[in-house]
Structure 1
Amino acid sequence: MMTVSRTPLRVSFFGGGTDYPEYFARARGAVLGMAIDQYVYVAALRLTNILDYRYRISYSKMEQVRELDAIEHPVVREAIRHYGYGSPLDISIMADLPARSGLGSSSSFTVGFVNLLFELLGRGATKMDLAREAVHVERGLLGENCGVQDQHHAAFGGLNRFDFEGNRTRISPIQMTAECQAALTSSLFLVYTGMTRFASATLDEQMAKTKSGASDKDLTHLLALVDQAQTVLEGTEPGALLREFGAMLHEGWETKKRLSSKVSSPQIDALYDKARAAGALGGKLCGAGAGGFLLMLVPPDLQAGFRLRMAEHSLIPVGLDTLGATILRG
């Protein structure tokens, strides 16, 4: 029988950069964002021992190997080793949107693959367990230069605030009215820049400035925006929410660009300016920077003109996922 995990991608609104242990080990970190209705799927089928290979892994390439050490996909190899799953597997990895595009796909995959292995092993896990195990795989086993918000958004789903203080993580679901939530989620668009990138490759300068304290002023401002955004989102007037939230996204983007010279580029800046001129109230580049998707907030009454002026670009409406990491049954 085939086992399938489904894990959402995410958009981060505010606080990115404060979710690195290198920062919140000495200061408070917090992020606010949401899981979206675009997903990473991992399917696994147990194999018999009569085949001439033990592992078959299908993603952007195909691997068919006899030994665990021969698997090139680092998360697959090290997670199987770490959790001690011993049976042969055929693994297929699929996603609604391209990898390396700033939507947390690497961490969504890791959460989903850990969830899948736990299901195969008959091992129970909470959403927090999945997030923490994925952080351990990425940072502990693989030494990845990554933050910890993506794993939590992927595991929990929903529209949440996460606070990080030392070894403690606190989740606070954003308390929105149905009318305000509908206004927000019907006003978000992803705009594809046409460029993909490895997040870890864009982070060297940012991490050096974080460790030295050179970015503390900007990170403190991004942290303050988390508090302000929560207040705005938990208001009661949809029109005011969109105006204020759009302005805050723009303010946060201008701050984020100061974290590293690699966050943006002239091409990305030009696309962002075009989207704002077409009707977006504000936005930001998703993820670490240097490529992927822009997230833009466009009120419903401006969307017809926005679509017309941005017709040559790929536009993807963003919806809210509420389930988080899930094993599909049916």
Structure 2
Amino acid sequence: MLIRARAPVRIDFAGGWSDVALFTEHSKGLVVNGAINRYAYATLRCESQTTQDDSVELQRILDKSIRIYSADFDTFIEADDVRQLEYDGNIDLVKAGVRRMSIQIGGFDLITQSNAPPGSGLGTSAAMGVALVSVLGALKEATYLPYEYAELASTIERHELGILGGKQDHYASALGGIHFMEFQGEEVKTSPLRLPPQIRYELEKNLVLCYTGQPRLSGNIHQNVTTAYKSADPSVRDALETLKATAEATKTALMRGRLTEFGELLTQNWRNQKKLHPSVTNEQIEQLFKIATAHGAIGGKACGAGGGGCLLFYCEPTREHSVRQKLEDAGARVIDVNFDFDGLQMWRVSNY
């Protein structure tokens, strides 16, 4: 039997960084983001089908080993027992999921894959974590609410693996849709932005998402920004406050259908992202922004922590095709996306 799950990645419009735990301890974080139709997939395979040789089936049932394969990195590991899984830089997120979910049995395979680029800034690791806890929970016959999947996946990254980051990615992946999110300490409030169809269609048409071809190392950038914040750098603290104000304004612009203003707010957010640390941008990113702006982009920002990965632009209604073409001419890869409103989905396959 196969247990499968898929969880969408997200594009963040405004307020990113303000959801990071270090910052939410002292001040409320505000974020606007949207889940998109690029997914992280997790498959758990338990061999329970009938075989001609009963001894083969019995051997499989008694088998306590675990096999994990990451299709994205073409990496395979095998352990004779769950307790042998050690963090060594190879597929640690999957190992951490097995540990945190208190999986005591073996005899199964885990396969992970994503159709978002590596290091894209789209929250792929969070989406993978959400998909993982879904299939592992199903193995335990446990049932969770969407926010519980998000919290479990966030806990795995932050507490099992010590990854610096916030919760917006996990909640976007578990819930789907376009949301305004508030973060205070460990508390999270999510409010869906139910845009009229014509506003959503126009938004989807005029957004251009491109991959720079350079995966970013978000851990390094997070450490840089964290160090600057802890040193009480006033420019960093001011930038974080402006990012939150931008998220509030972005929420209002979307709800009122003011999409040109929305595009301008992307740039406002980007300016303040760059104030957090010089590593948030680089020469290639700046050049792609110049190209997009010159050919019809109203505004834009880097996704996630920045430093590489994906860039998001909102374009003039009749010029997005020109922006797409010029970005591709410059070596970027344009990714076609629509919003995902389903969030985490899990299903079983009996015959395969």
Q: TM-score, normalised by structure 1?
A: 0.94
Aligned partner letter, 1:50: Q
Equivalent pair of 1:22/1:211 in contact (CA under 8 Å): no
Equivalent pair of 2:135/2:346 in contact (CA under 8 Å): yes
Equivalent pair of 2:39/2:114 in contact (CA under 8 Å): yes
Q: Does 1:58 align with 2:76?
A: no
Deviation of the 1:175 alpha carbon = 3.1
Equivalent pair of 1:44/1:91 in contact (CA under 8 Å): yes
Deviation of the 1:49 alpha carbon = 6.9
Q: Does 1:28 align with 2:46?
A: no
Report which of the two structures shows the higher radius of gyration computed on alpha carbons: 2
Deviation of the 1:84 alpha carbon = 2.2
Report the Cα distance in structure 2 between the residues aligned to 1:173 and 1:130, rounded to whole angstroms: 18
**Any residues of structure 2 matched to 1:89-168 within 5 Å, and which?**
89-168=108-187
Report the Cα distance in structure 1 between the residues aligned to 2:23 and 2:328, rounded to whole angstroms: 40
Deviation of the 1:148 alpha carbon = 1.4
Equivalent pair of 2:208/2:324 in contact (CA under 8 Å): no
Once the two structures are superposed, residues 85-134 of structure 1 have per-residue CA deviations (whole angstroms, 9 ceiling, x without a partner) of: 21322111111122211010111111110111111111110111011111
Equivalent pair of 2:81/2:106 in contact (CA under 8 Å): no
Report the Cα distance in structure 2 between the residues aligned to 1:128 and 1:49, rounded to whole angstroms: 38
SS of equivalent residue, structure 1 residue 271 = helix
Equivalent pair of 2:288/2:327 in contact (CA under 8 Å): no
Aligned partner letter, 2:198: E
Equivalent pair of 1:262/1:290 in contact (CA under 8 Å): yes
Once the two structures are superposed, residues 107-166 of structure 1 have per-residue CA deviations (whole angstroms, 9 ceiling, x without a partner) of: 111111011111111111011101111111111111111111111111111000110112
Q: Match of 1:317?
A: 336
Once the two structures are superposed, residues 228-257 of structure 1 have per-residue CA deviations (whole angstroms, 9 ceiling, x without a partner) of: 111110114xxxx22111111011101100
Report the Cα distance in structure 2 between the residues aligned to 1:150 and 1:180, rounded to whole angstroms: 24
**Any residues of structure 2 matched to 1:224-303 within 5 Å, and which?**
224-236=245-257, 241-303=258-320
Once the two structures are superposed, residues 155-199 of structure 1 have per-residue CA deviations (whole angstroms, 9 ceiling, x without a partner) of: 111000110112321111113211111111221121111101321
With over 3 angstroms needed to count, the CA separation of the structure-2 counterparts of 1:212 and 1:148, relative to structure 1, is farther
Deviation of the 1:53 alpha carbon = 7.8
Equivalent pair of 1:9/1:154 in contact (CA under 8 Å): yes
SS of equivalent residue, structure 2 residue 278 = coil
Report the Cα distance in structure 1 between the residues aligned to 2:208 and 2:45, rounded to whole angstroms: 36
Report the Cα distance in structure 1 between the residues aligned to 2:227 and 2:301, rounded to whole angstroms: 22
Report the Cα distance in structure 1 between the residues aligned to 2:244 and 2:85, rounded to whole angstroms: 43
Moved over 4 A (4+): none
With over 3 angstroms needed to count, the CA separation of the structure-2 counterparts of 1:231 and 1:272, relative to structure 1, is same
Equivalent pair of 1:56/1:62 in contact (CA under 8 Å): yes
Equivalent pair of 2:117/2:211 in contact (CA under 8 Å): no
With over 3 angstroms needed to count, the CA separation of the structure-2 counterparts of 1:187 and 1:329, relative to structure 1, is farther
Once the two structures are superposed, residues 39-64 of structure 1 have per-residue CA deviations (whole angstroms, 9 ceiling, x without a partner) of: 01111101467368812211111223
Q: Match of 1:80?
A: 98
Once the two structures are superposed, residues 235-282 of structure 1 have per-residue CA deviations (whole angstroms, 9 ceiling, x without a partner) of: 14xxxx221111110111011001011100011111111111121111
With over 3 angstroms needed to count, the CA separation of the structure-2 counterparts of 1:114 and 1:202, relative to structure 1, is same
Deviation of the 1:81 alpha carbon = 2.1
Deviation of the 1:5 alpha carbon = 0.5
CA RMSD of aligned residues (A): 1.7
Deviation of the 1:329 alpha carbon = 4.6
Q: Match of 1:222?
A: 243
Identity of aligned residues (%): 29
Aligned partner letter, 2:166: G
Q: 1:67 pairs with 81, 89, 106, which one? A: 81
Q: TM-score, normalised by structure 2?
A: 0.88
Report the Cα distance in structure 2 between the residues aligned to 1:54 and 1:25, rounded to whole angstroms: 41
Report the Cα distance in structure 2 between the residues aligned to 1:209 and 1:243, rounded to whole angstroms: 33
Report the Cα distance in structure 1 between the residues aligned to 2:58 and 2:123, rounded to whole angstroms: 35
Most deviating of 310-319 and 137-146: 310-319
Equivalent pair of 1:163/1:169 in contact (CA under 8 Å): yes
Q: Does 1:308 align with 2:322?
A: no
Q: Does 1:187 align with 2:197?
A: no
Aligned partner letter, 1:111: V
SS of equivalent residue, structure 1 residue 310 = helix
- In structure 1, stretches of 5+ residues that fail to align are none
SS of equivalent residue, structure 2 residue 304 = coil
Q: Match of 2:50?
A: none
